[in-house]
Structure 1
Amino acid sequence: MSESTIRWESDADGVVTLTLDDPSSSANTMNDAYVASMGETIDRLEAESESVRGVVLTSAKNTFFAGGNLGSLIQATPEKTDEVLAQVTLVKSQLRRLETLGVPVASAINGAALGGGLEIALAAHHRVVLDDPKVKLGFPEVTLGLLPGGGGVVRSVRLLGLTTALLELLLQGQQIRPGKALELGLVHDTAADRDELLAKARAWVLANETAQQPWDAKGYKVPGGAPSSPSLASTLPAFPANLTKQLKGAPYPAPYAILSAAVESLQVDVDTAFTVEGRYFVDLVVGQVSTNMIQALWFDLNRINGGSSRPDGVDAYAARKVGVLGAGMMGAGIAHAFATVGVDVVLKDVSTEAAEKGKAHVADLVGKQVSRGRMSQEKADAVLARIRPTGDAADLAGCDVIVEAVFEDTALKHRVLSEAEVHALPDALLASNTSTLPITGLAEGVSRPADVVGMHFFSPVDKMPLVELIVGRDTSDAALARAYDVVRQIGKTPIVVQDSRGFFTSRVFGTLVLEGAALLAEGLAPMSVERAALQAGFPAGPLTLLDEVTLTLPLKIRDEAARAGATDDHPGVAVLRALVEAGRTGKSAGKGFFDWEPEKRVWPGLTGLFPSSDAVPFRDAQERLLFAMAVETARCVEERVLNSVEDANIGSIMGIGFPPLYGGVLQYVDQYRGAAEPGVASFVARADELADAYGERFRPPAILLERAVPAGSLRAALAGASS
């Protein structure tokens, strides 16, 4: 077993310590080597059962076990259903044999145990976890369109009860810390360090000569009762409706499969329950949604965070002192992001008093973290101590990074950047948080245009994980690489796009909200517009989004584009003008498409301006929102605003709310299923239908027509262009 991923060590007391340690990887995963090694290990345990007094499971890696082999799972197709089912059944059978050995088995969880890692741990009779805030336990499978298929559903509902397992672990993919896991009963004990962890696990094994899982004990009753029990029977029917409400009607199959597997598994014996769970798992694995989500939220995301768009040959960089220009909510949010990771921040506004208001916003943010137990008061105080509010540009002395976050006005941005350039370090990175103004033009306001880069944060900064980096005409590779590193330093994901008006995210987001306004003008009722978006998978409806960004902002952007020579006349613009002329500018004013006080409701006068009709089928409404974004993204690819499929997909999901179930905006094109086979050809055919019916803005650009052939894809187009 020299190539085994599991090391076997037996001591004088007959306790066997099994150490998970894949020699080919920095993390343990459920790959073929693991399956073979676990099979051999269980065979040996059974063969040497007379000399084995108990088993301790642990790991040699920083994490306990990283989970399933996503590289294998993403390759699964409906044609491989039987193969996938056989594999997951084998994994489950091995863990079932482990928990029924007849000797005590303890897990010494020394690091994160997520997905398959937690499933392995649950197959032990006793679990001790390292009490470290970096350690997390949970089942994040639902966030990738899957369910725990190695026994996680079956064991967690039997251990914790149906309601607790669903709400605390399964349906939302929470990753919980050791204290919470102990409180729930997911683990039995915690340890301060690795030595104590192993000692506690071994001591428990020696003190419990016989052990079995609670669900294998005669007469065991699941906490909270079985689905047929009176305590659950009255509330269980509400679960599907509540789930639909939580998902806002979006077609995510995994949460419903988890709910079904959980309920059905409690109505049969445990071994049959594993079969039920396995069949639901396989249906998800071979489906398109899990393929989309794994591709985007695992492979594409990891490529970006791993530096796929970072220029080569530039040394790694870390900011030491950052100057933030503008102390509004955006500037304060940026200051909070840097101060939280230990970077000193100079927060500058027109006066110290104005800058103090920005710091007060940061105080509110860290105060909420403290009240929720996510940050100690000591750390909160340290974060605030790193932020120096000022109205004097001279205080920017020593700053190696400047981030401008003032109003969207070119002259103003020129002035504050040039002022900061004088006082900051002579090679300081000069970044602008503009969401629409071309970076090349902004760079004209400073003496070092090569050091200017767009660094577009999203609001609210403390919650939004994305930053869009924009490369101007003169931006150097060194500046882009430094910006990339700085974004990673604050724990956010950087996508890289080329300079253009609106760049990628603002430009494509504009097509979504304006299409929603156009649907309203064509007779779709306001709430039908919103439901079309929500049931397509968007996190919010376009009319709500317009109210939240204020209706005047898109109009200002369109007007500036028109002055720059743009001729686009989107029908949604007239809708926004009509509301603004009626004095309804959005949520900040308390009235837009909705009245926001005392609670959100559709403005009654809206139907007077735009009478409802049945002219637009609901499916067309949904696809118009999706296609508007997809076609515009294809234009961004054609114009070389976008250079990578990963940036497009992750940017669309994390920045502008494109539904994750499609795997991002370009993945949506590549997997679109129409009358023909899934792919670009089907997308082009449907886009032409929408263009004929609703306007030329849906007409597919040349890059799509070129790829509308068998096996053609935008992913391949971008990969070929970059190679």
Structure 2
Amino acid sequence: MSMQDSIRIVPQGEIAVVELDLVGEKVNKFSTPVMMRMKDVITELSKSSYKAVIFVSKKNKIYIAGADIEEIKNLTTREQVEAAVKAGQEIMNMVEDLPMPTIAAVNGACMGGGCEFILACDYRMATEDSSTKIGLPEIQLGILPGFGGCVRMPKLMGLQASLDIILAGKSVNAKKAMKAGLVDRVVHPAILMDEATKWAKEIIAKGKGKAEKKYHPKGAVNKVLESFVGRGIVFKKAKEGVLKATSGHYPAPLKALEVIQKSYGWSDRSDALRIEREGFCELAVTDISKNLIHVFYLTEMVKKSSGVPGKDVKARDVKSLGVLGAGTMGGGIAYVAADKGIEVRMKDLNADALGKGLKHASDLWMKLLKRKSIDKYQFRQKMDKVTATTDYSGFGTLDVVVEAIVEDMGIKQKVIAECASKMRPDAIIATNTSSLSVTEMAKGHPRPEYFAGMHFFNPVNKMPLIEVIRGEKSSDETVATIFELSKKMGKMPVVVKDGPGFLVNRLLLPYMAEAAFLLQEGMEIKTVDTAYVKEFGMPMGPFALMDEVGLDVCIKVLKIFKKAFGDRVEMAPCMEALEKSGRLGKKNGKGFYSYDSEGKRLGVDETIYSALGLKAPTSPLSTKECIERGVFAMVNECSRALIEDKIVETPHEVDLAMIMGTGFPPFRGGLLKYADSVGLTYIETQMAEYAVQRNAARLRPANPLKDLAKANKKFYT
């Protein structure tokens, strides 16, 4: 790789244009060799007679994607981290200290170290292209901005706007960046270099020189909040917000807040950067950061995968999609597809059902419109992508159809056969089933090689996971096409083999079923749910989750599993009573919790205990036992699914699916990463003890788990 060609100075008279174009890579990123080349370029510029410098990327829709994550991952000691961060800070200081004014001309993603780079420049121009996103996502990797971002951003934009970006690890588009003061001008991408050059000439002609880069609050409220007293209020509220959002499980946002509080208003840059560097070093060597980087790599693996490993299979480009069934799920599928520019044709039996599906999609875009994430023109443009029909008109030209009708095998097979007769012979049909056999369902399709599963999770607009289910006769091309379509829709696909509950529901069911036994043994609902959320880090406890899924659905799936897996699946007596109680959970406002008319959870319905024939709870078990029985039950079942049944190929897919499909705490790295960290011998021993103590055959360690523990092995080798 030629570093000279990766960052090059192109003279334009009295202006130097520095082109960023990392040779052999799709994106520009700050690796050590790139940083060393940048240092040489900045040194050359500092000794030159140029009167202005423009930094521009030659990559398509990428400015600088950030630092090289692989290098961060491999930093294991504090000394290594200190040296790497200090070197990066020094280069950003050199950019800031160049004698001539500098302009960052940004088109495309400008994240992490890229954002810190443009903060070190004097002026910033960005394009209005949808690919232009500017932000500091380091918090999502369990670290904080370490190349001056914690120091320069608050100084440029003020506390409130910078904390909003840094603590959430988020990015903003060009218009929002300009409103916040992160960029100075926004232009159309076609004229970026013309406008940047014109601006540089203006700066030279007017003798403006270097930019001041100091935030000047506008309005009385902002002036108060930026005062010495006001800052205290801002930091206090920010800390409360972080703790509420993370329950204290993620140290990075708290450390970033501490760093900004200590360094804000710095007069000595070196002191401020030292504070930032110390904070970065503290975080970078933690297990939490390494786990979050592991999760980052899980998502990167999906981007590079075709869904058919080891084979050169080309997915079809899907431009038009049919949706059978216009319920909440169908409307959600139509929304995520049309939102990404795919033409959608939605079919249901009558106009009322179609109206509900269209309204669901419209309501989701309306929320974006109200938040000003899209404008009225974009709203209309997206809505126009979705058309509706009560017959199969228009289905003859569709590339793929997703079936999202009632969970009944006979009805699904009949509708799939009917739909296939109205489509092109090579068109693909995918079922959104959550529990029925894809292989069995494929018998309704005249050409089962063009049939697979595409299991979305509810709510479709929020849940990132799609299980791509390979039936016995699904072709490689069909699997690859559904996998690629999932990515096109902005989702994270995981290919799974057909089997009861596929992967996620198969692992979740023992977790939810075990909660019912905890209830049977006298545990209070709130105590168990709170332990899972506050102590373990789940987004919601098992009882709240069952209410969300639907208690009738949970019981139905439990029975399916009982039929499939026999004695190892047990149903607590209280679940049988629950089936007769008429409680459905959130959807009829009555479950383990009660709900208001808007579906907001109010609190535990205290009549639930007597309704299920239980005594008043005394919570005799430790929260440690409650958590371990639920989580270890998932690990136990996973050992069978992964090793015996090979539902997925690798532990990576398990962890990605559990994080994206259930909200399993990312800071723990995923279910199997967590199991490895705890130790499989410990899990096997605890499971065996609980099985004896509670007379519970379901908790006995599975043979694959016992074999791994005996051999002192891990899921990740």
Which deviates more, 55-64 or 204-213? Answer: 204-213
Question: Which amino acid is 1:481 matched to?
Answer: A
Instruction: Confirm whether residue 622 of structure 1 aligns to residue 624 of structure 2.
Output: no
Contact 2:507 2:637 in 1 (8 A): yes
Contact 1:470 1:503 in 2 (8 A): yes
Instruction: Confirm whether residue 284 of structure 1 aligns to residue 283 of structure 2.
Output: yes
Q: Name 2:464's counterpart in structure 1.
A: 465
Please report how far the alpha carbon of residue 132 of structure 1 lies from its aligned counterpart in structure 2 after TM superposition.
Answer: 1.9
Q: Name 2:160's counterpart in structure 1.
A: 163
Contact 1:227 1:233 in 2 (8 A): no
Contact 1:393 1:419 in 2 (8 A): no
1:703-718 superposed matches below 5 A: 703-708=704-709, 712-716=713-717
Q: Structure 1 421/286 Cα, relative in aligned 2: closer, same or farther at 3 Å?
A: same
Alignment partners' CA distance in 2, 1:376 and 1:212: 33
Which deviates more, 313-322 or 496-505? Answer: 313-322
Question: Which amino acid is 1:601 matched to?
Answer: G
Question: Which amino acid is 2:468 matched to?
Answer: L
Q: Name 1:635's counterpart in structure 2.
A: 640
Q: Name 1:420's counterpart in structure 2.
A: 419
Which of these residues, 158, 174, 180, is aligned with residue 184 of structure 1?
180
Q: Name 1:313's counterpart in structure 2.
A: 312
Please report how far the alpha carbon of residue 704 of structure 1 lies from its aligned counterpart in structure 2 after TM superposition.
Answer: 3.4
1:570-649 superposed matches below 5 A: 570=570, 573-597=572-596, 600-608=602-610, 609=614, 611-638=616-643, 639-649=645-655
Please report how far the alpha carbon of residue 586 of structure 1 lies from its aligned counterpart in structure 2 after TM superposition.
Answer: 0.8
Which of these residues, 129, 137, 142, is aligned with residue 145 of structure 1?
142
Q: Name 2:298's counterpart in structure 1.
A: 300
User: What is the RMSD computed on CA atoms of the aligned residues?
Assistant: 2.8
Please report how far the alpha carbon of residue 300 of structure 1 lies from its aligned counterpart in structure 2 after TM superposition.
Answer: 1.5
1:333-482 superposed matches below 5 A: 333-393=332-392, 396-482=395-481
Q: Structure 1 126/426 Cα, relative in aligned 2: closer, same or farther at 3 Å?
A: same
Q: Name 1:56's counterpart in structure 2.
A: 54
Alignment partners' CA distance in 2, 1:417 and 1:655: 26
Which deviates more, 506-515 or 1-10? Answer: 1-10
Alignment partners' CA distance in 2, 1:396 and 1:209: 62
Question: Which amino acid is 2:183 matched to?
Answer: V
Alignment partners' CA distance in 2, 1:152 and 1:610: 56
Contact 2:512 2:543 in 1 (8 A): yes
Q: Structure 1 711/24 Cα, relative in aligned 2: closer, same or farther at 3 Å?
A: farther
**Matched residue of 2:444: which SS?**
coil
Deviations along 1:179-211, one digit per CA (max 9) or x if unpaired, are 111111111122222223431452354144542
Q: Structure 1 581/710 Cα, relative in aligned 2: closer, same or farther at 3 Å?
A: closer
Runs of 5+ in structure 1 lacking a partner? 218-222, 674-678, 717-723
TM-score, normalised by the number of residues in structure 2 = 0.90
1:191-230 superposed matches below 5 A: 191-192=187-188, 193-203=191-201, 205-206=203-204, 207-208=206-207, 210-211=209-210, 213-214=212-213, 229-230=228-229
Alignment partners' CA distance in 2, 1:685 and 1:6: 57
Deviations along 1:240-282, one digit per CA (max 9) or x if unpaired, are 33321122x1511111111111112227533211111111112
Contact 2:494 2:657 in 1 (8 A): yes
Please report how far the alpha carbon of residue 643 of structure 1 lies from its aligned counterpart in structure 2 after TM superposition.
Answer: 1.1
Question: Which amino acid is 1:648 matched to?
Answer: V
Question: Which amino acid is 1:668 matched to?
Answer: Y
**Matched residue of 1:356: which SS?**
helix
Q: Structure 1 518/258 Cα, relative in aligned 2: closer, same or farther at 3 Å?
A: farther
Please report how far the alpha carbon of residue 448 of structure 1 lies from its aligned counterpart in structure 2 after TM superposition.
Answer: 2.2
Contact 1:224 1:232 in 2 (8 A): no
Q: Name 1:115's counterpart in structure 2.
A: 112
Q: Structure 1 667/346 Cα, relative in aligned 2: closer, same or farther at 3 Å?
A: same
Please report how far the alpha carbon of residue 455 of structure 1 lies from its aligned counterpart in structure 2 after TM superposition.
Answer: 0.8
Q: Name 2:97's counterpart in structure 1.
A: 100
1:32-71 superposed matches below 5 A: 32-46=32-46, 48=47, 51-62=49-60, 63-71=62-70
Contact 1:521 1:610 in 2 (8 A): no
Deviations along 1:377-417, one digit per CA (max 9) or x if unpaired, are 34443444443433334663333322211111111111111
Alignment partners' CA distance in 1, 2:531 and 2:481: 41
Q: Name 1:30's counterpart in structure 2.
A: 30
Contact 2:568 2:698 in 1 (8 A): no
Q: Structure 1 569/611 Cα, relative in aligned 2: closer, same or farther at 3 Å?
A: farther
Contact 1:227 1:266 in 2 (8 A): no
**Matched residue of 1:374: which SS?**
coil
Q: Name 1:330's counterpart in structure 2.
A: 329
Q: Structure 1 391/196 Cα, relative in aligned 2: closer, same or farther at 3 Å?
A: same
Q: Name 1:485's counterpart in structure 2.
A: 484
**Matched residue of 1:575: which SS?**
helix
Contact 1:108 1:197 in 2 (8 A): no
Alignment partners' CA distance in 2, 1:324 and 1:406: 9
TM-score, normalised by the number of residues in structure 1 = 0.90
Question: Which amino acid is 2:97 matched to?
Answer: T
Alignment partners' CA distance in 2, 1:306 and 1:488: 11
**Matched residue of 2:430: which SS?**
strand
Please report how far the alpha carbon of residue 462 of structure 1 lies from its aligned counterpart in structure 2 after TM superposition.
Answer: 2.1
Deviations along 1:70-129, one digit per CA (max 9) or x if unpaired, are 01111222xx21011111011101211321234322222232211000000001122111
Contact 1:128 1:201 in 2 (8 A): no
Alignment partners' CA distance in 1, 2:304 and 2:507: 25
Contact 1:303 1:646 in 2 (8 A): no
**Matched residue of 1:309: which SS?**
coil
Q: Name 1:7's counterpart in structure 2.
A: 8
Contact 2:514 2:629 in 1 (8 A): yes
Contact 1:401 1:431 in 2 (8 A): yes
Contact 2:681 2:712 in 1 (8 A): no
Alignment partners' CA distance in 2, 1:234 and 1:337: 39
Q: Structure 1 208/225 Cα, relative in aligned 2: closer, same or farther at 3 Å?
A: farther
Contact 2:555 2:579 in 1 (8 A): no
Contact 2:496 2:502 in 1 (8 A): yes
Q: Name 1:666's counterpart in structure 2.
A: 672
Q: Percent of aligned pairs with the same residue?
A: 31
Alignment partners' CA distance in 2, 1:508 and 1:224: 53
Please report how far the alpha carbon of residue 37 of structure 1 lies from its aligned counterpart in structure 2 after TM superposition.
Answer: 1.1
Please report how far the alpha carbon of residue 683 of structure 1 lies from its aligned counterpart in structure 2 after TM superposition.
Answer: 4.5
Q: Structure 1 204/251 Cα, relative in aligned 2: closer, same or farther at 3 Å?
A: farther
Contact 2:130 2:173 in 1 (8 A): yes
Q: Structure 1 133/478 Cα, relative in aligned 2: closer, same or farther at 3 Å?
A: closer
Please report how far the alpha carbon of residue 347 of structure 1 lies from its aligned counterpart in structure 2 after TM superposition.
Answer: 2.0
Q: Name 1:549's counterpart in structure 2.
A: 549
Q: Name 2:219's counterpart in structure 1.
A: none
Question: Which amino acid is 1:657 matched to?
Answer: G
Contact 2:3 2:34 in 1 (8 A): no
Q: Structure 1 278/685 Cα, relative in aligned 2: closer, same or farther at 3 Å?
A: farther
Q: Structure 1 58/441 Cα, relative in aligned 2: closer, same or farther at 3 Å?
A: same
**Matched residue of 2:526: which SS?**
helix
Q: Structure 1 314/603 Cα, relative in aligned 2: closer, same or farther at 3 Å?
A: same
Q: Structure 1 517/161 Cα, relative in aligned 2: closer, same or farther at 3 Å?
A: farther
Contact 1:29 1:69 in 2 (8 A): yes
Alignment partners' CA distance in 1, 2:258 and 2:693: 40
Instruction: Confirm whether residue 256 of structure 1 aligns to residue 254 of structure 2.
Output: yes
Q: Structure 1 361/344 Cα, relative in aligned 2: closer, same or farther at 3 Å?
A: same
Please report how far the alpha carbon of residue 696 of structure 1 lies from its aligned counterpart in structure 2 after TM superposition.
Answer: 4.6
**Matched residue of 1:524: which SS?**
coil
